[in-house]
Structure 1
């Protein structure tokens, strides 16, 4: 197929835009269809996680939005000695999924993915899928239950069983926000899934 000057220019512009996206947060974090159109590699990773762990696509994304805002290098706030001297951080949570050192190590051992990085989106979403699968097995929380899944994610499996969240008045509304976002993402994804499945180039040529 011969490319017209317009198509050639458009193709070059799109290629440049894709390169510029890199690891920056998506421009439309409130729209999962927009996220996947901007970052088609994230969509591929989401489908792999869905198949491997049996989790719905919308729940890991809602959890990661809440935890890091889709920021690759997200970290917890610093602690200060005498209010002025930096003294470590509130916790070891880091990366897209805000996974702590200990549980990240458990994930690596459990899956054999010793090379996995919390700053790699594919690894981070796989971690969330793994955690959700364990939550379903350990505490019997349905994988589509974003509210219960998030409480497990935040409090840990033992904390959830001991209902530590009940004493944290601020946490339950946050879990409600995760559920609301998961529901929103699910509705959005249902409306664009067929288009996304055509693949980037299929959508590109149809658009031209």
Structure 2
């Protein structure tokens, strides 16, 4: 900006010197025209820069909106799996198929989160893994005859998988909220260690 002003002054002085014998009125018009043109150029550049900054801000806002949408979709799909696997009886065919579809959908969402919000990718991956484990565990449970030892063992594994998914979904929700408000994200390894200890304590509480 300072350089442009100095350039304006230099041009003005040059034109004044050239115009001293050309007639005051015409020289004044020429000088005023040059200065006005340069100011308009500066104003245009400033306006273009302002629009660029606004466009960048809007683009970032659109990405944030998409991230929030992905977080909500992941939690919604996860909640559907949790709700569908709370029943004690066997899953019907339609429910089983919808759970498989949900686990694939969670994987797809996880991949996009990895691109837009890499800070939460490991958390999303853990949710996706827990979702797949839960669906697999309940389908395995349902494939075994009722009242058998294998069925009871499989039922425990299914319940444990359900508990793990619930815990990972809660952790993801907590970290996603912090991420959205630009807060810190807990290192994934710390969260993983704490959750593993919690599930082991849960096993001991049940005497398993």
TM bucket normalised to smaller: under 0.3
Decide which structure has the larger Cα Rg and report it.
2
TM-score of the two chains, using structure 1 as the length reference: 0.27
* Bigger strand share: 1
* Bigger helix share: 2
Greater RCO (CA < 8 Å, at least 6 residues apart) = 1
